[in-house]
């Protein structure tokens, strides 16, 4: 199955009855109305209480045996919209952003090596779930999975891992070894031109890595280059600067537009004090919130150098080069995330945390109490978000019949409260919407059925084509 199966133009055609008549017996985990798609079953561990507004955005990685998908879900774990990647491809960093002042959906899609390096492209879909852009890294480089951050300038920050021959003898490795150069690019989305590029090897020495003079530096080769820096987040900073996170140096870097480093926070060469406030270990997802506040997901694991993962909010003073922790969102069970992860500060003062290598998503109150939590059925989500979204796929609902059950769906349509089944043109049953695909028992099958999507006031949002039930 390819991603094109979810485009609204296809939905319109299928809703008109030209398909899927030949596929009324899908596999057990396959959707009846969306053949080839497999609905993830999200488990709610902690029911939502006083959560921030918005829907949940998850990019579930499936590995070799499970599908990878982009999912928008509600607080009950019901899927509102789903996109399933083509076989063999993974999805990361799925979220809603703004492009040219309009809401869009974005994600990275591609393949991931055993070393955690991605090769792929970045997709941009509009509010009607139509692809409007496909972005690739410039200068013949491969776009990596770790970042796709849109800016108000019509550009996007993206990450690249460039394998290069390199002398590693200074950090205990072979003289004729290989290293990954972490590359930061800012690319114009419309023209695909690179407007800024920064290379870690030009500005950050190998000795800053926590892996210097140990594995994997000691035996780095073209089959396993020394990943000394490992860029994993890129975002705008104050006054035109760029904030970059290097996982394997355990440091954040504020980069000027000429490529020079304004300061380091954390790592072996931190410009900030006291040490306790800037002790990061394998962190992810660093973001500015105003000129003096930074959020960061501090993993502390693999190797495990902290007792548990600490999603942190820091206040920094760039003049005095001091920093202090102003908030921690530690999980009550002290989750230790081995890799990946995200921290989103919410408008109500709370936070949404995606635990990366631990397949859970937790929302915290401003005081750090758990207000919501879900567990993914398999794999993990590189990042997780709670965001506003008002997508509208257009077209019409889908309907399918299997034996004595009718199935209704409208992928991405918001505001559906109930489904009404019309049997032989007359109202037969009305049931609550229960997620992307709702099953409704028929009893004795009539000659024909169709479904109507109703809002909370009972108004008809859309009506499917009529389908034979016999």
By the 10 Å C-beta count (0-12 exposed, 13-18 middle, 19+ buried), 401 is classed as buried
pLDDT band for position 378 (50/70/90)?
very high
pLDDT beyond 90 at 14: no
Residue 6 pLDDT grade (very low, low, confident, very high; cuts 50, 70, 90): very low
DSSP 206: G
24 pLDDT band, cuts 50/70/90, is: very low
How far is residue 148's CA from residue 187's CA, in Å, rounded to a whole number?
10
Last residue of a domain, which of 387, 410, 445?
A: 387
Question: Which pLDDT score, from 0 to 100, does residue 443 have?
Answer: 83
Give yes or no: residues 285 and 271 share one domain.
yes
Q: Please answer whether residues 246 and 230 qualify as being in contact, where contact means their C-beta atoms are separated by less than 8 angstroms.
A: yes
Show Cβ contacts of residue 21 under 8 Å, excluding neighbours closer than 6 positions.
Answer: none
Is 20's pLDDT higher than 50?
no
Which CATH number do you get for residue 377? 2.120.10.30
Does the structure show a pLDDT above 50 at 4?
no
Cis amide bond preceding 373, omega within 30: no
Please tell me whether residues 30 and 159 are part of one structural domain: no
Rg of the chain, C-alpha, whole Å: 24
Q: How far is CA 141 from CA 184, 192, 232, 414, in A?
A: 11, 13, 17, 38
Indicate if the pLDDT at residue 370 is higher than 90. yes
Task: Give the chain's mean pLDDT.
Answer: 93
Are residues 325 and 462 located together in one domain of the fold?
Answer: no
| Mean pLDDT on 383-408 | 96
Residues 282 and 403 grouped into a single domain: no
Report the DSSP pairing between strands 261-266 and 426-432.
unpaired
pLDDT of residue 469: 78
CATH number for the domain that contains residue 441: 2.60.40
Categorize the per-residue pLDDT at 28 as very low, low, confident or very high, splitting at 50, 70 and 90: low
Span 148-189, pLDDT tens digits: 999 999 999 999 999 999 999 999 999 999 999 999 999 999
Among 140, 135, 81, which residue's Cα sits nearest to residue 106? 135
Boundary of a domain, candidates 387, 420, 445: 387
Nearby residues of 7 by Cβ (< 8 Å), 6 or more positions away = 129, 130, 131
Nearest to 225 by CA among 61, 304, 113: 113
- Over 70: is that where the pLDDT of 401 sits? yes
* Euclidean distance between the first and the last CA atom of the chain, given in angstroms as a whole number: 28
Three-state SS for 467? strand
Residue 19 pLDDT grade (very low, low, confident, very high; cuts 50, 70, 90): very low
Percentage of the chain surpassing pLDDT 70? Answer: 94
Q: Among the three residues 387, 410, 440, which one is the final residue of a domain in this structure? A: 387
pLDDT tens digits for range 186-243: 999 999 999 999 999 999 999 999 999 999 999 999 999 999 999 999 999 999 999 9
pLDDT range class, residue 11, cuts 50, 70, 90: very low
Number of domains in the chain: 2
Residues 257 and 406 in one domain: no
Cβ burial 56-75 (10 Å sphere, 16+ → b, else e): bbbbbbbeeeebbbbbbbeb
Pair (304, 445) in one structural domain: no
280 plus 426 within the same structural domain? no
Buried b / exposed e along 231-263 (16+ C-beta atoms within 10 A):
bbbbbbbeeebbbbbbbbbbbbbbbeeeeebbb
Q: What share of the chain in percent tops pLDDT 90?
A: 89
pLDDT the model gives residue 277 = 82
Whether residue 247 sits in one domain with residue 119: yes
Tell me what pLDDT residue 317 has.
97
Q: Are residues 196 and 277 in the same domain?
A: yes
- Enumerate residues 6+ apart whose C-beta is below 8 A from 226: 166, 168, 171, 173, 177, 178, 179, 180, 206, 209, 211, 216, 217, 220
Region of residue 290 (phi > 0: left; psi between -120 and 50: alpha; otherwise: beta)? left
What range does the domain containing 351 cover? 43-387
Compute CA distances 70 → 22, 58, 99, 143, 363, whole Å.
Answer: 27, 6, 19, 18, 19
Give the residue among 58, 55, 112 at the shortest CA–CA distance from 89.
112
234 with 264, same domain?
A: yes
Give CA separation, 269 vs 67, 204, 209, 287, 319, in Å.
42, 10, 10, 20, 17
Instruction: Give yes or no: residues 442 and 470 share one domain.
Output: yes
| pLDDT 10s digits, 239-295 | 999 999 999 999 999 999 999 999 999 999 999 999 888 899 999 999 999 999 999
Residues 345 and 413 in one domain: no
CA dist 167 and 170 (Å) reads 8
Average pLDDT over residues 86-111: 97
């Amino acid at each position: 199955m390819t991603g094109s199966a979810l485009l609204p133009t296809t939905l319109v055609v299928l809703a008109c009855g030209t398909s899927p008549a030949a596929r009324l017996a899908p596999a057990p985990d396959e959707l009846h109305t969306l053949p080839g798609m497999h609905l993830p079953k999200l488990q709610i561990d902690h029911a939502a209480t006083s959560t921030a507004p918005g829907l949940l955005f998850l990019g579930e990685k499936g590995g070799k045996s499970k599908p990878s998908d982009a999912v928008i879900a509600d607080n009950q774990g019901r899927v509102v919209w789903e996109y399933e990647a083509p076989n063999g491809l993974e999805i990361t960093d799925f979220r809603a952003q703004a492009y040219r002042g309009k809401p869009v959906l974005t994600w990275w899609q591609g393949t991931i090596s055993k070393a955690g390096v991605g090769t792929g492209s970045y997709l941009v879909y509009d509010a009607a779930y139509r692809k409007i852009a496909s972005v690739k890294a410039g200068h013949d480089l491969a776009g990596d999975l770790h970042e796709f951050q849109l800016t108000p300038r019509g550009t996007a920050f993206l990450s690249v891992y460039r394998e290069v021959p390199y002398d590693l003898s200074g950090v205990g490795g072979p003289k004729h070894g290989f290293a990954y150069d972490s590359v930061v690019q800012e690319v114009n989305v419309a023209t695909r031109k690179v407007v800024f590029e920064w290379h870690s090897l030009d500005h950050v020495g190998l000795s800053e890595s926590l892996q210097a003079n140990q594995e994997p530096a000691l035996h780095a080769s073209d089959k396993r280059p020394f990943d000394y820096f490992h860029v994993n987040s890129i975002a705008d900073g104050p006054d035109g600067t760029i904030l970059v996170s290097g996982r394997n140096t355990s440091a954040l870097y504020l980069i000027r537009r000429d490529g020079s480093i304004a300061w380091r926070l954390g790592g072996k060469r931190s410009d900030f004090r006291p040490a306790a406030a800037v002790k990061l270990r394998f962190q992810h997802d660093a973001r500015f919130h105003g000129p003096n506040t930074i959020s960061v997901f501090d993993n502390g694991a693999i190797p495990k150098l902290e007792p548990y993962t600490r999603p942190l909010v820091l206040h920094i003073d760039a003049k005095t080069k001091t920093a202090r922790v102003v908030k921690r969102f530690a999980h009550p069970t002290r989750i230790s995330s081995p890799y990946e992860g995200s921290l989103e500060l919410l408008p109500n003062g709370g936070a949404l945390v995606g635990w990366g290598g631990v397949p859970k998503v937790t929302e915290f109150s401003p005081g750090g109490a758990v207000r919501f939590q879900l567990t993914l059925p398999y794999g993990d989500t590189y990042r997780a978000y709670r965001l506003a979204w008002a997508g509208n796929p257009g077209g019409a609902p889908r309907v399918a019949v299997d034996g004595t059950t009718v199935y209704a769906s409208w992928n991405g349509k918001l505001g559906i409260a109930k489904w009404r089944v019309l049997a032989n043109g007359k109202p037969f049953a009305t049931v609550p919407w229960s997620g992307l695909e709702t099953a409704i028992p028929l009893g004795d099958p009539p000659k024909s059925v169709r479904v109507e999507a109703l809002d909370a006031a009972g108004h008809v949002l859309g009506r499917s084509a009529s389908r034979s039930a016999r």
